[in-house]
């Protein structure tokens, strides 16, 4: 069985940064990514990235190309299309599947950078909607739904931003939230509240998503009354959950499932570090935070390995 200093799981900005720092500090490492391309959630960013110092790009794909080029130039050890099967923190090894073959690799330290994923409504029809590929971006698809009806579920920044971006392009919006209180920033709320194309439904939950070939309507419970709302698209913006299933309660988490780390990125297991959205709550999540956390974790590991 092969052995390395550092195993990195996750190929988003956090994992990429960790691999770059491993290379710079001469740590023997492997970065595992389940997809065939590095980048992680960068592929879901369709707006301009203007808050990462020194980088101005139109969307996440452009930034992914920059990071991918850098990691190739640095000749980091990367394995794409690999499915992690099991993590054994006591024996300090992982099992993974590569091109149909099951393999194992031992490590001194593990850096967990698996990120987060959108929360789902968990209602009838949602799975079928996703399987049909009906996943939309307000920035990318705002012209597609002009003079059509779209429902957006959520009460935070993403829901409100999506609502006013679409509404300003002539889309009729139903902004649906289960509560009467919103988490969105005040400036976003002002833009939504004054827009005549947006109908706000509070105290409302989605019961089902209807449509065989595409979304045609949703069933909701509004103020205790069941209603059907005809729409042509649905955007679910109710938050995210961290991808922690691989650790299967091997390390401590908070009440929302995020891995608990100290200022160095160390979890409750000394040999396991966590970086990025898997341990950072959405309020503080950013590309900048992820890459910085990676640097700190790798430097700490380097000091332990080569004191």
pLDDT in tens, 122-141: 999 999 999 999 999 999 99
In this prediction, what percent of the chain has a pLDDT beyond 90?
Answer: 95
Stretch 85-103: mean pLDDT: 95
Burial of 51 (0-12, 13-18, 19+ CB in 10 A): exposed
Please compute the mean of the pLDDT values over residues 284-297 and round it to a whole number: 96
**Domain residues for 21?**
2-117+240-305
pLDDT at 44: 92
**pLDDT value, residue 203:** 95
SS (H, E, C) the chain: CEEEEEEEECCCHHHHHHHHHHHHCCCCEEEEECCCCCCHHHHHCCCCEEEECCEEECCHHHHHHHHHHHHHHCCCCEEECEEEEEEECCCCEEEEEECCEEEEEEEEEEEECCCEEECCCCCCCHHHHHHCCCCCCHHHHCCCCCCCEEEEECCCHHHHHHHHHHHCCCCEEEEECCCCCCCCCHHHHHHHHCCCCEEEECCEEEEEEECCCCCCEEEEEECCEEEEEECCEEEECCCEEECCHHHCCCCCECCCCCECCCCCCECCCCCEEECHHHCCCHHHCCHHHHHHHHHHHHHHHHHHHCC
Helical axes 13-24 vs 287-305, angle rounded to 10°: 30
Question: Over the stretch 65-93, which tens digit does the pLDDT of each residue have?
Answer: 999 999 999 999 999 999 999 999 999 99
Name the nearest CA neighbour of 230 among 151, 145, 113.
151
Q: Are residues 220 and 194 in the same domain?
A: yes
Query: Using an 8 Å Cβ cutoff, are 235 and 162 in contact?
Result: yes
The string of pLDDT tens digits covering residues 162-207 is 999 999 999 999 999 999 999 999 999 999 999 999 999 999 999 9
Say if residue 91 is in the same domain as residue 128: no
Instruction: Give per-residue pLDDT as tens, 207-247.
Output: 999 999 999 999 999 988 999 999 999 999 999 999 999 99
Is 70 exceeded by the pLDDT of residue 157?
Answer: yes
Q: Calculate mean pLDDT across residues 97-110.
A: 95
228 and 189 within one domain: yes
Asked if 87 and 247 count as a contact pair (C-beta separation under 8 A), the reply is: yes
Statement: residue 142 has pLDDT above 90: no
What is the domain count for the chain?
2
CATH label of the domain that carries residue 6 = 3.50.50.60
pLDDT digits (tens, 9 = 90+) for 15-58: 999 999 999 999 999 999 999 999 999 999 999 999 999 999 99
What is the largest distance, in Å, between two alpha-carbon atoms of the chain?
66
Pair (112, 244) in one structural domain: yes
Closest residue by Cα to residue 79 from 112, 20, 32: 32
Q: Which residue reads 């089902």 in tokens?
A: 208
pTM of the full structure: 0.92
Domain boundary among 189, 215, 236: 236
| Residue 307: per-residue pLDDT | 66
Burial class (CB within 10 angstroms; exposed 0-12, middle 13-18, buried 19+) of 211: middle
| 263 has a pLDDT exceeding 90 | yes
- Examine the domain organization and report whether 269 and 221 are in the same domain: no
Which of 184, 208, 236 finishes a domain?
Answer: 236
Residues 195 and 228 in one domain: yes
Residues 189 and 285 in one domain: no
pLDDT tens-digit profile of 7-17? 999 999 999 99
In total, the chain counts a number of residues equal to 307
Residue 112 and residue 167 in one domain: no
Distance CA 11, CA 83 (A): 12
Q: What is the mean pLDDT of residues 239-265?
A: 95
């Amino acid at each position: 069985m092969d052995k390395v200093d550092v195993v990195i799981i996750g190929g988003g900005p956090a994992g990429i940064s960790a691999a770059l720092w491993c290379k710079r500090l001469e740590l023997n490492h492997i970065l595992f990514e389940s997809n065939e391309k590095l980048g992680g959630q960068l592929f879901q960013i369709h707006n301009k990235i203007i808050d990462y110092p020194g980088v101005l790009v139109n969307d996440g794909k452009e930034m992914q190309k920059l990071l991918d080029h850098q990691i190739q130039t640095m000749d980091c050890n990367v394995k794409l299309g690999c499915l992690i099967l099991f993590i054994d923190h006591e024996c300090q090894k992982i099992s993974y599947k590569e091109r149909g073959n099951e393999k194992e690799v031992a490590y001194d330290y593990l850096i967990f950078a698996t990120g987060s994923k959108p929360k789902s409504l968990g209602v009838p029809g949602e799975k079928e909607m996703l399987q049909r590929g009906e996943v939309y971006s307000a920035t990318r698809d705002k012209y597609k739904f002009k003079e059509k009806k779209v429902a957006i579920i959520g009460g935070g920044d993403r829901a409100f931003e999506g609502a006013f971006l679409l509404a300003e392009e002539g889309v009729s919006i139903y902004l649906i939230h289960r509560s009467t209180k919103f988490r969105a920033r005040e400036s976003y709320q002002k833009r939504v509240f004054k827009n005549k194309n947006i109908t706000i439904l509070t105290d409302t939950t989605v019961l089902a998503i209807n449509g065989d070939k595409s979304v045609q309507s949703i069933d909701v419970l509004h103020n205790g009354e069941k209603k059907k709302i005809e729409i042509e698209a649905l955007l679910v913006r109710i938050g995210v959950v961290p991808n922690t299933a691989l650790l299967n309660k091997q390390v401590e988490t908070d009440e929302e499932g995020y891995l608990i780390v100290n200022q160095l990125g160390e979890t409750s297991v000394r040999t396991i570090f966590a970086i990025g959205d898997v341990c950072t709550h959405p309020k503080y999540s950013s590309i900048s935070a992820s890459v910085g956390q990676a640097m700190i974790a790798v430097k700490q590991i380097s000091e332990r390995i080569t004191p």
